[in-house]
């Protein structure tokens, strides 16, 4: 083969490789990427704050809280497709800075489908900015309370267990007491997300005659002393518990009492300050920690 033939062959081969890559990428983007293996729950390492990303079997992204700053955006990029910057649902448990601040960045950088919140009054700048962005971008919102629910794919349901009263426009001294508590039920398995609900609210929650048992527990209020009522923990009876907490935080979270309570029940415990992200796959019959 002469030089011109070799050059033509090389050019043709390069073109073939390039087209193969392009077609493979198009197929990847356009094909159904549904993960029928189960629901993936990512407890994101965002420092001293909460952020949980739930991905159902159809690939819908549900984000509960956004942590204290923009760290959540980098965390979301690990688990969402680069070409589809969409969060289908945001749930704000309560408007304290370590739960809402990061949501400002999420709303600015992602396409958001719907936001669920309690509507409780709070005048912190980042919460006001978050609400303003929702109006500016025409993102629909729903004020939630116990009894409301969301239908997810493959028969899964996300139920709101708390608060048990409407809080829209209400001024409350302790915002932790207004925290949304949500439970995902998928077949025989379930997970409860507690926000920062403290002992008093947990006692009230136990009186509401709801099924509080769950295989997975997002421990309330970063494992603080007054947010892991032992009687409540016994009722939930989780196999796995996750504490979302920052390293060497000024609050001393998680408290030794909380750790002791969980250990006494034989719960498998993970902490984002030690384990970084905690990723769990939940099927209808099993749960598996992916770390």
- Per-residue model confidence as pLDDT tens digits over 36-81: 479 999 999 999 999 999 999 999 999 999 999 999 999 999 999 8
Quickly state the pLDDT bin for 2 (edges 50, 70, 90): low
Stretch 260-276: mean pLDDT = 97
90 or 7: which carries more pLDDT confidence?
90
CB neighbour burial string for 60-77, b if at least 16 within 10 angstroms, e if fewer = bbbbbbbbbbbbbbebbe
pLDDT, mean of residues 6-20: 54
What does the pLDDT average to over 15-21? 54
What pLDDT shows up at residue 289? 97
Q: Is the pLDDT of residue 25 over 60?
A: no
- Tell me which of 32-36, 84-88, 100-104 is least confident: 32-36
Q: Position of tokens 């909380």?
A: 258
Q: How confident is the model at residue 200, as a pLDDT?
A: 95
The answer, yes or no, to whether residue 193 has pLDDT greater than 50, is: yes
Report the mean per-residue pLDDT for the chain.
91
Q: Which residue has the higher pLDDT, 9 or 125?
A: 125
Contact 157, 184 (CB under 8 A): yes
12 has pLDDT over 70: no
Q: What are phi and psi of 285, to 5 degrees?
A: -125, -5
Q: What is the pLDDT of residue 16?
A: 56
Q: Which of 142, 151, 141, 181 is nearest to 164 (CA)?
A: 181
| Per-residue pLDDT, 37 | 78
Q: Is the dihedral of CA 209, 50, 102, 120 positive or negative?
A: positive
Q: What is the pLDDT of residue 84?
A: 80
Structure tokens at 155: 């028969």
Q: What is the pLDDT of residue 140?
A: 98
Phi, psi at residue 5, to the nearest 5°?
-65, -45
pLDDT for 33 equals 40
Residue whose structure tokens are 């509080």: 212
CA dist., res. 121 & res. 207, Å (int): 26
User: Does residue 234 have a cis peptide bond before it, meaning omega lies within 30 degrees of 0?
Assistant: no
Please give the average per-residue pLDDT across 193-198, as a whole number. 98
* Whole-number pLDDT of residue 22: 43
Q: What are the tens digits of pLDDT across the range 229-254?
A: 999 999 999 999 999 999 999 999 99
Per-residue confidence at 215, pLDDT binned at 50, 70, 90?
A: very high
Q: With pLDDT > 70 as the criterion, what percentage of the chain qualifies?
A: 87
Which residues are 191's β-sheet partners?
Answer: 184, 216
Q: Which residues, including other chains, have CB under 8 Å from residue 67's CB and lie 6 or more apart?
A: 44, 46, 47, 49, 50, 51, 75, 98, 99, 101, 102
**Is 40-289 assigned to CATH 3.60.15.10?**
yes
Mean pLDDT of 182-199: 98
What does the domain layout of the chain look like in residue ranges?
A: 1-31, 40-289
- Give the mean pLDDT of 122-146: 97
Q: How confident is the model at residue 194 (pLDDT cuts 50, 70, 90)?
A: very high
Distances (CA, A) of 278 to 43, 110, 149, 203, 216: 5, 23, 25, 28, 12
């Amino acid at each position: 083969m002469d030089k011109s033939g070799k050059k033509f062959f090389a050019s043709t081969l390069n073109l073939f490789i390039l087209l193969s890559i392009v077609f493979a990428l198009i197929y990847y983007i356009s094909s159904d990427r549904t993960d029928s293996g189960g629901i993936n729950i990512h407890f994101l390492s965002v420092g001293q704050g909460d952020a949980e990303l739930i991905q159902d079997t159809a690939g819908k992204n549900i984000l509960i809280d956004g942590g204290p700053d923009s760290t959540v955006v980098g965390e979301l990029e690990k688990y969402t497709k680069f070409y589809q910057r969409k969060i289908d649902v945001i749930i704000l448990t309560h408007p304290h800075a370590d739960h809402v601040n990061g949501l400002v960045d999420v709303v600015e950088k992602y396409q958001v489908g719907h936001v669920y919140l309690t509507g409780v009054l709070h005048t912190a700048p980042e919460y006001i900015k978050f609400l303003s962005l929702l109006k500016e971008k025409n993102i629909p919102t729903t004020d939630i309370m116990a009894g409301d629910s969301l239908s997810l794919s493959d028969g899964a349901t996300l139920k709101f267990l708390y608060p048990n009263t409407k809080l829209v426009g209400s001024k409350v001294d302790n915002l932790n007491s207004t925290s949304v508590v949500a439970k995902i039920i998928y077949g025989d398995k379930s997970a409860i997300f507690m926000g920062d609900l403290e002992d008093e609210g947990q006692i009230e929650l136990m009186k509401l005659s709801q099924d509080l048992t769950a295989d997975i527990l997002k421990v309330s209020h970063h494992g603080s002393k007054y947010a892991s009522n032992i009687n409540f923990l016994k009722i939930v009876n989780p196999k796995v518990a996750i504490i979302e907490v920052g390293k060497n935080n000024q609050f001393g979270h998680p408290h030794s009492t909380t750790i002791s309570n969980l250990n006494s029940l034989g719960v498998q415990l993970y902490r984002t300050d030690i384990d970084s992200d905690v990723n769990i796959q939940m099927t209808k019959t099993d749960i598996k920690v992916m770390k």
